């Protein structure tokens, strides 16, 4: 990634439309509910997303979510995201998503993807149906830690399943951030990124981040004008080097996020740290 030419790095964007396979029928109900929850329209392809970010000179980390065990939808291939990153190396990094329930098969896939150029991994405990500190996932973490790559975990409330009957069968308890504390302690050399403000457990994420120097918080999924005040306070002070810009695109656009960020009470001296410099360190780009 050519960080010098970028004005920001968005560490949280989604690949939601595959050019290799048709839309998944199981996922369509969840996508429709998420569109209503986030008030968004049609989803862009991977190529359209890259073009959007290139026009704005914003770097991006992109991933899919492998929720085949818990939800049953067919995932977008990790290879499709990686190939896009390999075509846009000045701008884009690919994270892989592998459901920890896949066991040894998932570990072998992780090693293959790391060798091919994947630069990190994405986990969504609510959509994947596991606690982050479940030892089932540790063989995957061992691969990630061995290669000193970051692992990004959804935390807090989930817009996926919101409003569906029974929340689409998804359970919020898996994404309570305290479960990341064990992972941060057991893998102290692996960078962990707690995605989103972690509401209603914001204070847990802040505490873990203060206690464990290998933990970062990405500020995606919410407009900054709705951030809990303690999140802004710590971003302006003790955790100013551990907060990362993320949008959750296409559910929230970087245009909206950055506009609201500039009006949300963040100090001028932390702006570049959050928008770019902290990501350079967390992603190993420096």
Strand partners, 193: 152, 216
Q: Tokens for 212, please give them.
A: 């464990």
Q: Tokens for 75, please give them.
A: 């995932």
CB 131 within 8 A of CB 182: no
- pLDDT over threshold 90, residue 21: no
Per-residue pLDDT of 239-281, as tens digits, reads: 999 999 999 999 999 999 999 999 999 999 999 999 999 999 9
- Domain 3-282: what homologous superfamily? Metal-dependent hydrolases (3.20.20.140)
What is the pLDDT at residue 121? 98
SS3 128: helix
C-alpha dihedral, 97 to 103 to 106 to 112, nearest 10°: 140
Q: Where are the domains of the chain?
A: 3-282
H or E element in which residue 93 lies: strand 92-94
CB 127 within 8 A of CB 65: yes
Band of residue 25 on the pLDDT scale cut at 50, 70, 90: confident
Q: Which of 26-30, 55-59, 117-121, 169-173 has the lowest mean pLDDT?
A: 26-30
229 Cβ contact partners less than 8 Å away, ≥ 6 residues apart = none
Per-residue pLDDT of 2-13, as tens digits, reads: 999 999 999 999
Measured distance CA(197)–CA(200) in Å, rounded: 8
């Amino acid at each position: 990634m050519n960080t010098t030419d970028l004005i920001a790095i968005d560490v949280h964007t989604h690949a939601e439309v595959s050019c290799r396979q048709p839309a998944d029928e199981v996922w369509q109900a969840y996508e429709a509910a998420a569109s209503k929850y986030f008030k968004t329209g049609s989803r862009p392809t991977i190529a359209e997303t890259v073009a959007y970010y290139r026009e704005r000179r914003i770097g991006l980390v992109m991933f899919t979510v492998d929720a085949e065990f818990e939800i049953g939808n067919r995932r977008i291939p990790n290879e499709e995201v990686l190939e896009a990153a390999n075509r846009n190396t000045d701008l884009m990094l690919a994270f892989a998503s592998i459901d920890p329930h896949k066991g040894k098969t998932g570990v072998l896939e992780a090693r293959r993807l790391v060798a091919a150029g994947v630069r990190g991994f994405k986990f969504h405990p609510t959509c994947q149906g596991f606690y982050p500190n479940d030892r089932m996932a540790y063989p995957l973490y061992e691969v990630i830690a061995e290669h000193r790559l970051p692992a990004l975990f959804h935390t807090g409330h989930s817009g996926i399943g919101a409003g569906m009957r029974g929340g689409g069968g998804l359970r919020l308890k898996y994404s309570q951030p305290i479960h990341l504390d064990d992972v941060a302690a057991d893998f102290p050399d692996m960078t962990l990124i707690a995605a989103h403000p972690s509401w209603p457990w914001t204070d847990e994420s802040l505490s873990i981040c203060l206690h464990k120097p290998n933990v970062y918080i990405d500020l995606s999924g919410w407009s900054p004008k709705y951030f809990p005040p303690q999140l802004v306070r710590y971003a302006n002070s003790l955790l100013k080097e551990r907060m990362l810009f993320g949008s959750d695109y296409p559910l929230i656009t970087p245009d909206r996020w950055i506009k609201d960020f500039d009006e949300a009470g963040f100090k001028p001296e932390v702006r570049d740290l959050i928008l770019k410099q902290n990501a350079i360190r967390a992603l190993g780009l420096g």
